[in-house]
Amino acid sequence: MTELVSLEAIRDAAARISGVARVTPLVDVSLEAGRPLRLKCENLQPAGAFKMRGAYHMLSRLDPEARARGVITYSSGNHGQAVALAARRLGAPAVIVMPTTAPAVKVEGVKSYGAEVIFEGTTSAQRKARAETEAAARGLTVVPPFEHPWIIAGQGTCGLEIVEQCPDVSTVYVPIGGGGLISGVSAAIKRLRPSVRIVGVEPSGARRMRASIDASHPVTLEKTASIADGLLTVRPGDLTFAHVRAFVDDLVTVQDDAIAAAVVWLFRKAKLVVEPSGAATVAAVFASPAPFAPGTTVAVLSGGNIAVEAIAALAAQAAR
């Protein structure tokens, strides 16, 4: 039986990352949204995404000798940037395996933190295989993007903050790629406030968790496609699947045009720079009926690594 991450482990992670990962603000946009809505701004984390929580937590727990040898990960961008920055802070060499299609803004971010970049394929499976090969050849420690209890515990610290910052929270929308963020957030919130509804959000072109829940086991999609490049993992992890099945109340999907509109709305109305992967939750909120029950909805904005030109292009598209 899969052991789920405990509340104690998440609280320990919070202590370890304190002063490194930010306690991000919960911004009230109820007036602009026309419903009780707050935004958990993980786009304001160091390296621009929630990934700093899990990456720094895992690296901080590695044996000093393992850190000195170096770490490697495989990432479409945000996890890679977080590992690169965490490694720099802890004095560890870092190698990041990225897809050949990675956005330039994310590649530049990784390199700016001093990490080595290797390009490999377009799928998470291809990147993972290359990272494992490099790790074996070079004696590096693999820091997985989602499938590890230390990573999940680190991401769960976001859930602790939501409960503390919003006592009347009733529903929390969380984006799903591999499932590390929603695993940690749901594990924290459901143990503290079981009545809170947790909703996972996937792009319609990358419904790997929905397919897995329907099949009662992790499913590998043949391909994924979406403007939300951080949510294109083809298969959830066994551990993240177990957390979603245990703690998540509902899974919804959103179309790319709705995600694009959410990016533009966040920029214009909330004055926030959010990448498509992070804006998927807001797209899902706006697609749902306005709540009649008391309580506040929280949407987690998972990242903000998007080029200015990309926002301009989405705005122009929305204006047509």
pLDDT single digits (tens) 123-154: 878 899 999 999 999 999 999 999 999 999 99
Domains parsed from the chain with CATH numbers: 7-50+148-319 (3.40.50.1100), 52-142 (3.40.50.1100)
Q: How far apart are CA 152 and CA 43, in angstroms?
A: 18
How many Cβ atoms sit within 10 Å of the Cβ of residue 77? 29
Q: How far apart are CA 191 and CA 84, in angstroms?
A: 32
Q: How far apart are CA 262 and CA 286, in angstroms?
A: 9
Q: Which residue from 187, 153, 172, 131 is spatially nearest to 56, judged by alpha carbons?
A: 153
pLDDT of residue 293: 65
Q: How far apart are CA 272 and CA 265, in angstroms?
A: 9
Q: Which residue from 192, 183, 152, 173 is spatially nearest to 13, judged by alpha carbons?
A: 152
One-letter amino acid of 17: I
pLDDT of residue 249: 97
SS3 293: coil
C-alpha dihedral, 175 to 185 to 286 to 294, nearest 10°: 170
pLDDT of residue 125: 83
Report yes or no: 27 and 41 within 8 Å, Cβ to Cβ: yes
With tokens 């984390």, the residue in question is: 45
Q: How far apart are CA 104 and CA 128, in angstroms?
A: 20
pTM: 0.94
Taking phi over 0 as left and psi of -120 to 50 as alpha, with beta for the rest, 186 belongs to alpha
Tallying the residues shown for the chain, one arrives at 320
Q: How far apart are CA 242 and CA 187, in angstroms?
A: 11
Report yes or no: 301 and 41 within 8 Å, Cβ to Cβ: yes
Taking phi over 0 as left and psi of -120 to 50 as alpha, with beta for the rest, 217 belongs to beta
pLDDT of residue 122: 85
pLDDT of residue 106: 86
Local confidence pLDDT in tens for the 320 residues of the chain:
689 999 999 999 999 999 999 999 999 999 999 999 999 999 999 999 999 999 999 999 999 999 999 999 998 788 999 999 999 999 999 999 999 988 888 889 899 999 999 999 988 788 999 999 999 999 999 999 999 999 999 999 999 999 999 999 999 999 999 999 999 999 999 999 999 999 999 999 999 999 999 999 999 999 999 999 889 888 999 999 999 999 999 999 999 999 999 999 999 999 999 999 999 999 999 998 877 667 899 999 999 989 889 999 988 877 66
Question: Which ranges of the chain would DSSP assign to H, the alpha helix?
Answer: 7-17, 30-33, 51-61, 64-69, 78-90, 104-112, 124-138, 149-165, 180-192, 208-215, 238-247, 256-268, 276-287, 308-319
One-letter amino acid of 121: G
DSSP 204: T
Q: What is the DSSP string of 72-108?
A: EEE-SSHHHHHHHHHHHHHT--EEEEE-TT--HHHHH
Q: Which residue from 29, 32, 297 is spatially nearest to 173, judged by alpha carbons?
A: 297
Per-residue model confidence as pLDDT tens digits over 28-57: 999 999 999 999 999 999 999 999 999 999
